[in-house]
Structure 1
Amino acid sequence: MNNYELMVIFTPVLSDDEFKNEQRKFAALVTENGGQIVAENAWGLKSLAYPIQKKTTGLYWVTEYQASSDFNEKLKIQLLRDESVLRHMITKLDKYAVEYNAKKRSGVPTGTEKLEEVKNG
């Protein structure tokens, strides 16, 4: 089992319920294929750096999961088939990224927060 992070940008025309249903659908896809959801974070509506399909905003959703490497191809196909998905990105996480994300979720200061503390004295 490898660790991955999935970021999906959904079309901004989705209602809150539709947005949550899309999140549940892809989270269920991970668990149905033997994977495990580690963390989910719905960022909500954000501006896009450039227009995608004539839209300037999108609904962002980030999830960290564990799955076998062959599962990502299935996930990618489902993401490409879904009309509500504007863009997606799957990133394989190394042990340092997994550790960093776990510390960030638990509230333990990471390297960047420690730098800020030193700067602000």
Structure 2
Amino acid sequence: MLNQYETVFICTPVLSEPQVKEAVKKFKDLITENGGELIHDEDWGMKKLAYPIQKKSSGFYHLFEFKADPAFITKMETDFRRDERIIRFMTVKLDKYAVAYSEKRRKLRKAKSEKKED
């Protein structure tokens, strides 16, 4: 049985754009290689942190929404801890209400981006 999860992680700000994309690709591949299904991913870009983490005041934020086996989450979080490019991460299991909200948010975001193109 696959559960639906959402993970937000912050990459260190000293990385270049290609290095951040490489880190994101590593975790996308990790999800798909372990039988997970990537539903949505969002790049939030460079943001200021609410408080300093490892003497850094900003970081590159990224969000993944995916379906995976519960045992996989431990493996993924271990990889987050081992990767020096990641300064913080948080994974949340989504219940049916959160899944519905997430779908609604994606549709709204898509509609806004289509409206901007007009």
Fold match by TM threshold 0.5: yes
TM-score normalised according to structure 2 size? 0.89
What amino acid does structure 2 have at the position aligned with 1:50? Y
CA distance in 2, matches of 1:69, 1:84: 24
CA distance in 1, matches of 2:36, 2:14: 30
TM-score normalised according to structure 1 size? 0.87
1:85 aligns with 86
Cα deviation, residue 103, structure 1:
1.2
Q: Does 1:21 align with 2:22?
A: yes
Cα deviation, residue 92, structure 1:
0.4
1:74 aligns with 75
Which of the pair has more CA radius of gyration?
A: 1
CA distance in 1, matches of 2:84, 2:20: 13
Equivalent residue of 1:34, what SS?
Answer: coil
Cα deviation, residue 72, structure 1:
0.3
Unaligned residue ranges in structure 1 (runs of 5+): 109-121
Unaligned residue ranges in structure 2 (runs of 5+): 110-118
Aligned length: 108
Identity %: 46
Cα deviation, 1:34-88, whole Å, max 9, x if unaligned, reads 0000000010100001101110001100110000000000001100000010000
- RMSD of equivalent CA atoms: 1.0
1:103 aligns with 104
